[in-house]
């Protein structure tokens, strides 16, 4: 039968020590006896193999009171039980100052009481060992987690640089038109994305996309959308396929590709085609909030539009609208992350406040960005993307 624990007995009286060892062994413990404490090496720190120490208080040529600094240096973790032939206030105070777990007066006639005291000490020692082992495992897990997080951060930063390079030139100036953007991610990678490019000489196709979720998977979906619009632009040049000039057609393709991706991602989008020769805009809205805002001398207004988000259902229906643009205007598209940083609490008030900001600050995208506080946001609670198209008469 395995021993219940290991007990160290310290007593400079060999006969007395052996007698105590026999008593302790009778209740199931292994014992080690030390009779020369000054010339024997033993370890009572956290890694000690002993579960409890039974110490004689009245050792010859040795003072427990004077040994306290020595015990501190040993970083004692093994609980101790003191024994003495007599008890008085001074002895009890010495034992208490040493932090002993129990105190017995010889002769120890109640073996059961001693056994229970040793059992409590052994249990305490084992709990400390388990706690220390748990701390070691936790530290190892934390170190591993920190290393993993560092690798993930490096991957995210690399992905962020790739995503930034995917964004179009800002600002893009074409005659009287100026197109610019800004993207503020909540994490390193963003699920919000915008793109714009010229088609032939008179058109600019643009889109704003807000992919569900955050992080890498959402960013990958933006890569898919970027690639889709690039392919369709190429098809226009090579195959005379004019889908890239059809907001509804592009939304249908985006819907099909996100569904085909099979990762449960969907996106709200606004797709538009600016005709610079006629100064007109054709656009489609796919479940996107806030809706595009058009600012001119007549004031600021939302451009309405209905349609479900892309990537949710096969038979999604989208509508296309066309408007004649003023001689001087600013068109602004934002992802819904902008609503998170606006002061009002409910959506209706946020949309009202948003429009008021445009009414009061319509000089330039830069002024609008400052008024909305985007120039002071380093990390947002949600991704924020903004696209501005301006024309000055």
Q: How far is 320 from 272, CA to CA, in rounded Å?
A: 9
Q: How far is 253 from 232, CA to CA, in rounded Å?
A: 10
375 confidence band (pLDDT: 50, 70, 90): low
Assign 370 to helix, strand or coil.
Answer: helix
Which of residues 95, 112, 135 is at a domain's end? Answer: 135
pLDDT, averaged across the chain: 86
> Within 13 Å, how many C-alpha atoms sit on residue 303's CB side?
27
Q: Is the pLDDT of residue 132 over 70?
A: yes
The pLDDT of residue 143: 86
Q: How far is 389 from 179, CA to CA, in rounded Å?
A: 5
Q: Is the pLDDT of residue 247 over 70?
A: yes
Q: What is the mean pLDDT of residues 155-171?
A: 75
Q: What is the mean pLDDT of residues 334-354?
A: 85
Same domain for 174 and 29: no
- Cβ(77)–Cβ(46) under 8 Å? yes
Q: Is residue 155 part of a domain?
A: no
Q: Is residue 160 part of a domain?
A: no
Residue entry with tokens 């892309």: 310
Q: Is residue 239 part of a domain?
A: yes
Q: What is the mean pLDDT of residues 348-368?
A: 80
Strands lying side by side in the sheet with 52-56? 30-34, 6-10, 52-56, 80-84, 102-105
Q: Is residue 103 part of a domain?
A: yes
Same domain for 175 and 73: no
The alpha carbon of 237 is separated from its chain's Cα centroid by a whole number of angstroms, namely 44
Q: How far is 266 from 171, CA to CA, in rounded Å?
A: 29
Which of residues 91, 111, 135 is at a domain's end? Answer: 135
**Which is more confident, 102 or 59?**
102
Number of domains in the chain: 2
Which tens digit of pLDDT belongs to each residue from 49-98?
899 999 888 888 777 766 666 667 667 888 989 888 888 887 788 787 78
Q: What is the mean pLDDT of residues 199-225?
A: 87
Q: How far is 206 from 281, CA to CA, in rounded Å?
A: 11
DSSP, residue by residue, 101-131:
SEEEESS---HHHHHHHHHHHHHHHHHHHHH
Look at phi and psi of residue 87 and say left if phi exceeds 0, alpha if psi is from -120 to 50, else beta: beta
CB atoms near residue 74 (< 10 Å):
15
Same domain for 127 and 55: yes
CB atoms near residue 41 (< 10 Å):
5
Same domain for 244 and 368: yes
Same domain for 302 and 231: yes
Same domain for 303 and 361: yes
Please give the C-alpha separations between residue 297 and each of 92, 271, 325, 358, 368, in angstroms, as whole numbers.
93, 24, 12, 12, 16
DSSP, residue by residue, 324-352:
EPPSSEEEEEE-THHHHTSS-SSHHHHHH
Q: Is the pLDDT of residue 363 over 70?
A: no
Question: Minimum mean pLDDT among 160-164, 231-235, 265-269, 317-321: which range?
Answer: 160-164
Same domain for 186 and 85: no
> Within 13 Å, how many C-alpha atoms sit on residue 302's CB side?
16
- Report the range out of 212-221, 278-287, 379-388 with the highest average pLDDT: 278-287
Which of residues 135, 158, 182 is at a domain's end? Answer: 135
Q: Is residue 307 part of a domain?
A: yes
Same domain for 190 and 131: no
Cα dihedral sign for 280, 325, 181, 222? negative
Q: Is residue 140 part of a domain?
A: no
Cα dihedral sign for 309, 311, 321, 388? positive
Kindly report each contact of residues 62-68 with a partner whose C-beta sits within 8 Å and lies 24 or more positions away, as own/partner.
62/12, 62/37, 62/38, 64/94, 64/98, 65/94, 65/97, 68/97, 68/98
Same domain for 126 and 185: no
CATH number (domain holding residue 208): 3.60.40.10
Between CA 160 and CA 165, with CA 163 as vertex, the angle to 5 degrees is 115
Structure tokens at 342: 């606006």
CATH number (domain holding residue 12): 3.40.50.2300
Same domain for 81 and 223: no
Q: What is the mean pLDDT of residues 156-163?
A: 69
Q: Is residue 80 part of a domain?
A: yes
Question: Domain range holding 41?
Answer: 6-135
Q: How far is 358 from 363, CA to CA, in rounded Å?
A: 9
Q: Is residue 152 part of a domain?
A: no
Same domain for 229 and 294: yes
Same domain for 364 and 244: yes
């Amino acid at each position: 039968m395995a021993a219940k624990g290991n007990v160290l007995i310290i007593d400079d009286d060999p006969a007395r020590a052996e007698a105590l060892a026999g008593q302790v062994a009778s209740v199931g413990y292994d014992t080690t006896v030390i009779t020369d404490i000054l010339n024997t090496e033993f370890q009572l720190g956290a890694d000690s193999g002993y579960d409890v120490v039974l110490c004689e208080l009245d050792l010859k040529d040795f003072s427990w009171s004077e040994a306290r600094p020595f015990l501190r240096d040993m970083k004692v973790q093994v609980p101790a039980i003191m024994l003495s032939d007599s008890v008085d206030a001074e002895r009890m105070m010495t034992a208490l100052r040493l932090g002993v777990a129990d105190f017995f007066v010889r002769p120890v006639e109640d073996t059961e009481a001693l056994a229970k005291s040793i059992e409590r000490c052994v249990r305490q020692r084992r709990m400390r060992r388990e706690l220390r082992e748990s701390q070691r495992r936790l530290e190892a897990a934390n170190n591993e987690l920190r290393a993993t997080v560092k690798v993930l951060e490096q991957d995210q930063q690399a992905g962020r640089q790739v995503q930034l390079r995917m964004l179009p030139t800002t600002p893009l100036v074409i005659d009287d038109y100026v197109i610019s953007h800004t993207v503020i991610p909540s994490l390193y990678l963003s699920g919000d994305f915008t793109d714009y490019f010229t088609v032939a000489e008179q058109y600019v196709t643009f889109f704003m996309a807000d992919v569900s979720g955050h992080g890498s998977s959402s960013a990958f979906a933006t890569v898919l959308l970027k690639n889709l619009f690039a392919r369709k632009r190429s098809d226009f040049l090579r195959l005379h396929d004019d889908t890239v000039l059809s907001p509804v057609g592009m939304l249908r393709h985006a819907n099909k590709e996100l569904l085909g991706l099979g990762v449960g991602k969907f996106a709200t989008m606004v797709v538009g085609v600016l005709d610079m020769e006629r100064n007109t805009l054709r656009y489609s809205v796919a479940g996107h909030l806030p809706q595009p805002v058009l600012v001119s001398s007549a004031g600021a207004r939302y451009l309405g539009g209905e349609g479900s988000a892309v990537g949710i259902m096969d038979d999604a229906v989208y509508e296309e609208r066309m408007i004649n643009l003023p001689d001087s205007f600013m068109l602004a598209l934002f992802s819904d992350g902008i609503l998170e940083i606006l002061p009002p609490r409910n959506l209706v008030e946020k949309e009202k406040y948003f429009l008021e900001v445009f009414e009061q600050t319509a000089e330039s995208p830069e002024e609008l960005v400052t008024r909305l506080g985007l120039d002071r946001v380093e990390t947002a609670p949600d991704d924020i993307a903004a696209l501005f198209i301006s024309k000055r008469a």
